[in-house]
Amino acid sequence: MTVPAEGQAAMAAAEAAAAGRDLPAAVALAATAVAAEPGLRLRAALLHARLERPGSARALACAALAANDDPALAVLGIEVAGHLHVSGATEAATAVLRLCWRGRPDRLTIGLFLSAGLPSFQRSLQDGADLALLEGMVAAACLDPGAGREADIAELARLAEEAGRDDLLRTLGAAVQARGTRPLVERLTRPGLGVTQSLAGLAHLATHRPARAAIAFAAAQVALPGDPSTRFNAGYAALAAGDVGAASALLGALPAAGEPMLAGAAWPRFGELPWPFAPPTEATRRGFEALLPPGGRWPRIRLVTPCLNPGPWLEETILSVAAQGYPAVEHVVVDGGSTDGTAAVLARHRDRLHGVIVEPDGGPAEAIGKGFAGNDADLIGWINADDLLAPGALHVLGAAFAADPAADLVHGWSVAHRARRITGLQQPLPGGVRDFTVAGLADVFGRWGAGRFFLQPEVLVARRFWEQLGGRLDTGLSAVFDYELWLRAAVAGARIAQARWPVAFYRTHPAQRSGQRSALAAEQVMVRDRFAAPAPPPARVANVAARLRGALRPAGRPVRLLLVDPHCAETISPAAKEEARAALATRRIALEVVPRVAPGAVVADIVLRLLAAHDGEDWVPRLRRQGFAGPAIGWFLEDDRDAASNAAMALTPDIVVPSRARRRGVLLQESALVTEAMAPPCGLVSGAEARAAFSVAPTPGAEDDAVWQPGAMRLAAARRGDGPMAVAEPGAAVLALLAGRPPVAADARLAELFEGPLPEDRAALHKLGLDRLLAPRLLRLLDRLGAIAAAG
């Protein structure tokens, strides 16, 4: 092991090499200097950060700071994080800061932590909120609320509230009151957009003066007739007073809206209690009954609530159905074996339920099927144990079906809320029933993501149509079985009746199944592809192929291929780069590798960019603004991460290259051509270096696969071992293959990069690793591009 004195000398030499722009020498010297001494590791991390090697800088800094509370080390760590943040490596900066900010919690550090941590937390929401990061940011902000920008403190408060962490919001609010500025206090307590006109009514409602509140809400609506909050409040005040006609006029004219426009919306009340703890008045019930068309009859409706340990919300769901006062409803609860007190809730409300089934099941889809079995209702649907029906829901839907008994689906709107704070109004099919098509439903990240289809509790299905569709939900799906049903309904040409009325209150909370957004999107895309995987129209395919043919056959000179890799200083070694240049030159292709496209004219025929999950979608429009007209190709290295971000980025290139076959569906759309998946290139070593290392017998020693080491050093370390090799990132997996060792990844998403089962023979593993190196990967991609050009 390198002794500290030797390490200091090697580190000084590394810093001198970096100053002289001898980057390979700087990286190699820093790797020999590091050993296990935290101070040297942080100096090396700072060097790597300055050399635009964020992954190495993060790994070095985190290794040095873990379980180490030395203030001097914290100062170095914060300096490393500052360089990372300035260079755009936000998540790496956040990872370092969360380990060291307490060591020097001054204003600059706290401001930096918030500036880097807030976008990192927002990105974490796709795979499950990083609540530990949120807690750390609140703790930092509370020490000095004035350290962060006002906008950052306000956003931190919003995120805490959205995460259901009122404890953090209260703590932050107390700190702002005690140590913040007056403008910051006002920023946190200022009424949101749409609240001001409703303040008088909200105050009367809070002090239990419902009649005065109704007058104030009506006046606010007259003064600001286009505001959704005032219309929402006036509509439900009219409903509480028994005037269903006025409520229909007000609520039926509501636009789709998000939280800012509904910030002043109050939860409906009837008398002293909030919905659903008090039913509508007798006058309101008579008004709903008057909705039935002359000569019609109320259709029988069966609702099923599947549940397993639903917590505190099941009771409200049951009451919201019972309080409808609808004359022909059957509510069945199917409990998969709850152990949280659900049995007592069901016993307490047994007289309000048509049936209760308590037995194990394979998930909500199977439970719903049990609840539907053997019924003869006209309409069927389900409402989850965390949702509620809105007042009048069944009368409005029943009347719409009675007016059009040939309808296959009948739906209204959903009001999203978080703990009774109204956060949105979703109106399915705003363009009319003609939008209910497979193509429309297949636009997962566009029309579906924009709320143009059902959330689910606001729609009922005619039982005869349910049976026509097979009388089943797909029990193999964990969350999107409703989406699969809607696709089958679209294929069958469903006739749809629409009702302009808020039918359901859809609760959003961290524990719900749909909270894991990336996993939900992956399952939804998988289902979509069974019916209609989106693809560019023929004209777009022909256009891209024509431009690709022109780019691959320039007159009298080699093809100019520009490879843009923001992390090439870390991911592509000089030897690998030169080997790739030589290999492509045999095909008359001139390769240039850059971390970013310089301003001005783009000297290239083809631009290939290696993309991480949050690199943004503006890179192609930027190229076009610089005059580049050739094919722009995006190779998605992290297609296993944030599905929405990757889907948005896939809209702008001409050609998209996935890295994982299982994730290809997320990238499909109607703009870019999506190739078959290709594992991404590894530029850590050249083929010559890999073959030389494999030709020598393994040597004893430590298997230190440190990501901050140059690729050749990491490969040498991999050759010291035998048998399976644990890996944590794609580069390590390729090095394991090159060493003739099967890589073993704890993360299943990393294992997805292995195309099929791995061979057992060491030589075969080595050969597979060689195929993953930069030169052969680029040659394979060019073969694929040639095939696209020829086919088009």
* Contact criterion met (CB below 8 Å) for 707 and 721: no
| Cα angle value 425/155/519 (rounded, 5°) | 60
pLDDT band at 705 (very low <50, low <70, confident <90, very high): low
Helix/strand/coil percent split, the chain, to 5: 50, 15, 35
- Report whether pLDDT(687) > 70: yes
pLDDT grade for 5, boundaries at 50, 70 and 90: confident
The proportion of the chain whose per-residue pLDDT surpasses 70, expressed as a percent, equals: 98
Distance (Å, whole) CA 447 – CA 231:
26
pLDDT-based confidence at 463, cuts 50/70/90? very high
Query: What does the pLDDT average to over 605-613?
Result: 96
Confidence of residue 417 (pLDDT cuts 50, 70, 90): very high
pLDDT surpassing 70 at residue 327: yes
Distance CA 307, CA 302 (A): 16
Provide the 10 A C-beta neighbour count for residue 519: 17
Complete domains list, the chain, with CATH: 4-189 (1.25.40), 205-266 (no CATH), 295-531 (3.90.550.10), 538-681+777-791 (3.40.50), 687-772 (no CATH)
Q: What is the pLDDT of residue 519?
A: 82
Residue 674 corresponds to which tokens in the numbers above?
């999506």
- 514 — pLDDT class (breaks 50, 70, 90): very low
pLDDT band at residue 515 using 50, 70 and 90 as cut-offs: very low
pLDDT digits (tens, 9 = 90+) for 100-144: 999 999 999 999 999 999 999 999 888 788 999 999 999 999 999
* CA 51 to chain CA centroid, nearest Å: 31
Query: Does 193 score more than 80 pLDDT?
Result: no
**pTM exceeds 0.85, yes or no:** yes
Give the three-state DSSP class for 426: strand
Q: Which residues, in sequence order, are bridge partners of residue 305?
A: 333
Q: What type of residue sits at position 466?
A: W
Q: How far is it, in rounded angstroms, from Cα 21 to Cα 279? A: 76
Q: What is the pLDDT of residues 387-410, one digit of tens each?
A: 999 999 999 999 999 999 999 999
As a whole number, the mean pLDDT across the chain is: 93
pLDDT of residue 1: 40
27 near 710, Cβ under 8 Å? yes
For residue range 363-378, list pLDDT tens digits in order.
999 999 999 999 999 9
Contacts of residue 412, Cβ cutoff 8 Å, sequence gap at least 6: 393, 396, 397, 458, 459, 498, 499, 500, 501, 502, 503, 504
Structure tokens that stand for 646 in this block: 């990757």
pLDDT score, position 363: 94
- Phi, psi of 524, rounded to the nearest 5 degrees: -65, -40
Q: Are 734 and 659 in contact (CB under 8 A)?
A: no
At residue 21, the pLDDT reads 87
Over residues 556-579, mean pLDDT: 96
- What would the mean pLDDT of 632-638 be, rounded to a whole number? 97
What pLDDT does 506 receive? 96
Residue 3 pLDDT exceeds 60: no
